[in-house]
Chain A
Amino acid sequence: SQQGEEDPQALSIQEGENATMNCSYKTSINNLQWYRQNSGRGLVHLILIRSNEREKHSGRLRVTLDTSKKSSSLLITASRAADTASYFCAPHTGRRALTFGSGTRLQVQP
């Protein structure tokens, strides 16, 4: 398995602004997943994008995938204080285990 590298490591924005997080990885993937972790809690799956997809939406979340650049981005629109959390990407190579990078710590100021 391989892990993704999230960028930036930390992001602070005002409520209502958009938040963009990026993920880079190194080898071919079957899909890429994004997870959120609130402080003191387990990870929660947000969205999965397959290698043959370029963009996917879920509510206020928009994920893009560029397999030629081996990168993905997560956009949260109209952020809320409740979006404050760490966000992790997990490139999936087809094996059963995901590995995670250090994540992006998002702080949304009310």
Chain B
Amino acid sequence: DAGVIQSPRHEVTEMGQEVTLRCKPISGHNSLFWYRQTMMRGLELLIYFNNNVPIDDSGMPEDRFSAKMPNASFSTLKIQPSEPRDSAVYFCASSSSGQETQYFGPGTRLLVL
């Protein structure tokens, strides 16, 4: 299995631009999670999906952030417009029904100038 796949691995953009992060969960997993990690705030849960439905988005910082999961094999996290304080590493993770272990992707390192 290829594991959780995230793209791009690195993204540098300018303030005000739209940023789209992508995630492909492990095949057969029905839960998907987006996390953000910074030195100041640590690892924060942004949103998670179960069977493609958002279950808890209370961690999404503000309306500039949105996440979708159009099918079981793909999810996006979009930031529009981006701001320098959004600079962080964004991780996607997935888990399968009946198992609690989460499998993390390699992350997307975002820098907003």
Smallest Cβ-Cβ distance to A103: which chain B residue: B42
Which secondary structure characterizes the binding site on chain B? strand
Smallest Cβ-Cβ distance to A45: which chain B residue: B101
Interface assignment of B82: CB less than 8 Å from any CB of chain A: no
B77–chain A nearest beta-carbon distance, Å: 15
Task: Report yes or no: A30 in contact with B91, Cβ–Cβ below 8 A.
Answer: no
Count of chain A residues with Cβ under 8 Å from any Cβ of B? Answer: 21
Q: Which of A15-23, A66-74, A93-101 contacts B (4 or more CB under 8 A)?
A: A93-101
Interface assignment of A28: CB less than 8 Å from any CB of chain B: no
Interface on B for A, CB 8 Å cutoff?
4, 31, 33, 35, 42-43, 45, 48, 50, 55-56, 91, 93, 95, 100-107
What are the 4 tightest A-B residue pairs by CB atom distance, in nearest-first order? A42-B104, A100-B43, A43-B104, A97-B48
